[in-house]
Amino acid sequence: MQSVAKREGGVHRGVRAIAVLGILCTLVLGLAHAQERVVVAVQYEANVLDPRMDESFATRNVLELIYAPLVVWNENYEIVPIVARSFEAPDDTTFVFHLREGVLFHDGVELTSEDVKYTYDTMRDPDFGSPRIGPYRIIESIDTPDRYTVVFNLLEPNAAFLTNLHTGIVPKHYVEEHGAEFLGRNPLGAGGFVFVEQRAGEEVRLRAFDDYFEGRPAIDELVLRFIPDRVTRTIELELGGADVMTDVDPQDQSRLQNIASLTVQPYYPAAYCFLAVNVEHDIVGDVRVRRAMAHLLPLEDLAIVGSFEGVPPAYVPMPFESWAFEPNVPRYEYDVEAARALLADAGYAEGFEIEMVQLQGGPRAQIAQIIQQSFSQAGIDARITPVQAATGFQRLDAGEFAIQLWCRGVLVDPDRATYPLFHSDQIPPLGQNWVRYVNPALDELLSEGRRVADQEARRVLYSEALNILATDLPYIPVYYQAQIAANSARIENYRFDPSFLYRNLIYATFRE
């Protein structure tokens, strides 16, 4: 009896020893793999986390971490395949995508051509009610010849179509089981990070997806904290309460640069600001008047006030990082005498009075005052009317403006930067040719640019188009809007991308 009891005691001791050892091992391993947590301070709160439903920048920034798209574009706006392994255009209305094999959704189900078809078919279905339906109306049909091939058949040629395929792919099986509304609250994609929770007004929590097809992210936990006030965001960054911020106040730049624990990266989002000129207007409809106004803009100063030192002045209505950017266009150096001469030639030697509508936000109020001051040197008396975005757009749609100062966000493809704004078939209400510009030569170039798929051939076309625009000046460029980002120095290999702000956190690593 005694020996049995003793042996039982021995067994207990053994179990205990193993348990202690186990706990120790866990502790040691746990310490070795300390959880890497990164907090991003964001200005706006994300809404519905269904990529088909929301195109707001704030929401997209979260979506691009959870969902994987067919393609994205790089900093020069060249298309980079992601879920697609490769793609080709056998003719000018067909795009064929070959998908990677073994791309998994967060629930372990493989992403196939059916999911791609489902994502875009629902989005272009008017009954689904996606606010993003616009660019997908030109899809005639989507075929899936096999599990890893998707074919988009278009109604008409559109070389810019590829830049509309950055939408995250949603899992068909999941949406069909739970419904679209459920997906919006409980997103599930094939992207680098798995959704954990969304706390309204506070934060979105994500964790690394172990089976992410491009390799598991180094960041274990990613938190997007919603801090609306910029001063507070900056303070949290300095205190270490946040690791990433993408809109540092230029005034804080040098101070943050002197903090060793931070890396400051200026970056250039594809936004540019300009004076849109109503070419049907009695006075500014005259191209000589528009050129005179262009001569009166101190572009170098405007670039510094609008953005900060080092940002190049704007000459064409296209971001300078674009592959289609053309620097060799007519330029209007700051020259009051030249401006006066042009105005006299047009019959306005004494100048004139005009309303300048200014879209509120950013440094535009200050910019408008500088322009007003500058215009007055040649006798142009510009009255500034600040308006909210919605009012500004109403006036643009109705053509009730002479000149309007505003900015345009990310425009990836040169087609999207030009066609909807300047082609004569885009005059409101059908499109965004708010300035009512009509030029058959330009129409021809823009239509051709949409038809041709070859990038080099398109570059030549858009070079010519930009020259026409710089000559006729329906938009007078004012400045590029650039922003500064900063992040904790322990994060490495994180390149800010103007179009996909946080997506590159998937590839970020940590300093040893």
Partner 1 sequence: MLRYVFGRLVQMVPTLFGVTFLVFMLIFIVPGDPARLIAPEGASAAEVERLRVSMGLDRPVLVQYWDWVTGVLRGDWGMSLYRRAPVLPQLIERLPATLELVIVSVALSVLVSIPLGVASALKRNSFVDNSTRVVTLFGLAMPNFWVGIMLILVFAYYLRWFPATGRGSWQHLVLPALTLGTSMMAEMTRIMRSTMLEVTHADYVRTARAKGLRELTVVYKHALRNALIAVTTVIGLQLGARLGGAVVVEQVFAYPGIGRLAYQSMVQQDIPLMMGALLLFALLFMIINLVVDLVYSLIDPRITYG
Q: Are 363 and 243 in contact (CB under 8 A)?
A: no
Residue 157's CB is within 10 A of a number of other CB atoms, namely 18
Q: Which stretch binds partner 1 (CB under 8 A): 24-32, 187-195, 301-309, 381-389?
A: 381-389
Q: How far is the first Cα of the chain from the last one, in angstroms, to the nearest whole number?
A: 59
Task: Provide the minimum distance between the beta carbon of 43 and partner 1 in the complex, in angstroms, as a whole number.
Answer: 10
Q: Which stretch binds partner 1 (CB under 8 A): 177-185, 307-315, 329-337, 447-455?
A: 177-185
Note whether 76 binds partner 1 by CB under 8 A: no
Q: Quick one: which of 354, 348, 335, 390 has its CA closest to 275?
A: 354
Note whether 432 binds partner 1 by CB under 8 A: yes
Of 92, 202, 220, 444, which lies in the binding site for partner 1, with binding defined by CB under 8 A? 202
User: Is the Cβ of residue 411 or residue 470 nearer to partner 1 in the bound state?
Assistant: 411
Residue 376 host element (H or E): helix 364-376
Note whether 229 binds partner 1 by CB under 8 A: yes
Residue-wise burial string across 41-64, b where 16 or more C-beta atoms lie within 10 A, e elsewhere: bbeebbebbbbbbbeeebbbbbbb
Q: Quick one: which of 378, 41, 452, 55 has its CA closest to 241?
A: 41
DSSP helix/strand/coil, 90? strand
What distances in angstroms separate CA 172 from CA 111, 210, 212, 446, one per listed residue? 9, 21, 19, 37
User: Is the Cβ of residue 112 or residue 499 nearer to partner 1 in the bound state?
Assistant: 499
- Residue 306's contacts (CB-CB under 8 Å, 6 or more residues apart) are 273, 362, 363, 364, 367, 478, 479, 480, 481
Note whether 390 binds partner 1 by CB under 8 A: yes
User: Is the Cβ of residue 277 or residue 396 nearer to partner 1 in the bound state?
Assistant: 396
Distance CA 464, CA 343 (A): 27
User: Is the Cβ of residue 136 or residue 315 nearer to partner 1 in the bound state?
Assistant: 136
Q: Return the beta strands (E) in 388-432 as ranges.
A: 403-408
Q: Which stretch binds partner 1 (CB under 8 A): 15-23, 323-331, 382-390, 443-451?
A: 382-390
Q: Which stretch binds partner 1 (CB under 8 A): 4-12, 385-393, 446-454, 500-508?
A: 385-393
Note whether 362 binds partner 1 by CB under 8 A: no
Residue type, 387: V
User: Is the Cβ of residue 54 or residue 472 nearer to partner 1 in the bound state?
Assistant: 54
Q: Which stretch binds partner 1 (CB under 8 A): 28-36, 312-320, 357-365, 423-431?
A: 423-431
User: Is the Cβ of residue 121 or residue 238 nearer to partner 1 in the bound state?
Assistant: 238
User: Is the Cβ of residue 45 or residue 472 nearer to partner 1 in the bound state?
Assistant: 45
Note whether 300 binds partner 1 by CB under 8 A: no
Task: Provide the minimum distance between the beta carbon of 504 and partner 1 in the complex, in angstroms, as a whole number.
Answer: 22
Q: Quick one: which of 325, 312, 315 has its CA closest to 414?
A: 325
Q: Which stretch binds partner 1 (CB under 8 A): 80-88, 178-186, 280-288, 376-384?
A: 178-186
The footprint of partner 1 (CB under 8 A) covers 45, 47-48, 53, 55, 129, 131-135, 181, 184-185, 199-202, 225-229, 231-232, 235-236, 238-239, 241, 387-391, 393-394, 397, 408-409, 416, 420, 426, 428-432
